[in-house]
Amino acid sequence: MLNRAIFTGFLLAAAWLDWKNRRIPVRLLEAFGGCGLAVWLSGVWEIVKTGGETGVWQIILERGLPFLPGMFLLLVSVWSREAVGRGDGCFFLASGLFLNGREIVCLLAGGLLGSSLAGLGLMMRELFRGRSAAKRELAFLPFLIPVWAALLLGG
């Protein structure tokens, strides 16, 4: 329960700063990454204490897979010359310290859906006004807030 509260604070702070400044400060990522590392290591320690030989695979599956979306977003950031910001990838890497794989994937998929719909709406609005929306940017992390709220309420 504590990890969800810490993550909620992390998400709200990061989303606000992403919306306001279009960037996520490294200090914020470091601070919450440090807290998340403590949470993550305590979960790994519990698996090691009780897991025996299957503990290694359990650590990989339960504690390693949540980092894949963050690594993927960092690769996309490099490939797209930062059309997807590095901060988003770093946010999802830090999120992997707090959340399980299902929650991370739901958060990413829901955020992509919400931001895509907002981008489409923005593009249509600019098209009707006779302007180009090609240079417009949307902050991604604010779209994660309603998805996280749904995950918290829906279980």
- Digit-coded pLDDT (tens) for 56-70: 666 666 667 888 899
How far apart are the C-alpha atoms of 155 and 149, rounded to whole Å? 10
- What's the number of domains the chain is made of? 1
How far apart are the C-alpha atoms of 144 and 110, rounded to whole Å? 7
41 touches 35 (CB < 8 A): no
User: Residue 12, SS3?
Assistant: helix
For the chain, which residues score pLDDT lower than 70? 51-63, 155
Which residues span the domain enclosing 127?
2-154
- Digit-coded pLDDT (tens) for 30-48: 899 888 888 878 777 777 7
CA distances from 70 to 54, 57, 84, 109, 126 (A): 26, 21, 12, 13, 31
